[in-house]
A and B are shown apart, each in its own frame.
Chain A
């Protein structure tokens, strides 16, 4: 069964700090790894995504690091802000499909 495991379950960071969320997958047949941000009462929104042929991707304060051999990928949020407080989901899309397989989520709280 294809699974994506995510940690930590919750994270508290001070404003200006770095938030790090980790994910690992158990099946090599994934070819797309997006991160989604979800605020209460809203649907998930794409934050940043990476393909397995790239080891790192940066967009503004958000960076994905991807380790294909370890089957792990992580999200780094630099200079974390209170407005970043939300639940973050890693996800993966298997080859030749379009369905997202989500992790269990990380609730991030950034305090001023």
Chain B
């Protein structure tokens, strides 16, 4: 079956603009995760959804970042008033259940803020 897909694959924006990044998880996966990977670093956790609700948003760096998953499937990560420091690859992952089940990652969206 299809894996996790993310759109767009690349996004270039200007400082101060608003961006939305989309994630389509594997069909039937109830858990969805967002991570951010800066160049040369490991991914850093941002937020985790179980169904429609955000079960853990402790990794969101500030209130400019927000994510939704209104129907328990597709998720959108929203970044307001983008800053150059937001430039990174944003990764989405999904898993079939909780308790350490394998997280399947998408290819990521490379965000560049000029």
Q: Mark B33-59, 1 if CB is under 8 A from A, else 0.
A: 101000011111100100000011011
Q: Which A residue's beta carbon lies closest to that of B105? A: A43
A103 with B42: CB separation less than 8 A: yes
B side interface size, CB within 8 A = 28
B4 with A43: CB separation less than 8 A: yes
A side interface size, CB within 8 A = 23
State which residues 81-102 of A face B: CB under 8 Å: 89, 91, 93, 97-102
B33 with A98: CB separation less than 8 A: yes
> B100 an interface residue at 8 Å Cβ cutoff?
yes
Contacts of A49 in B (CB 8 A): 100, 102
* Interface residues in chain B, defined as those with a beta carbon under 8 Å from any beta carbon in chain A: 4, 31, 33, 35, 40-45, 48, 55-56, 58-59, 91, 93, 95, 98-100, 102-108
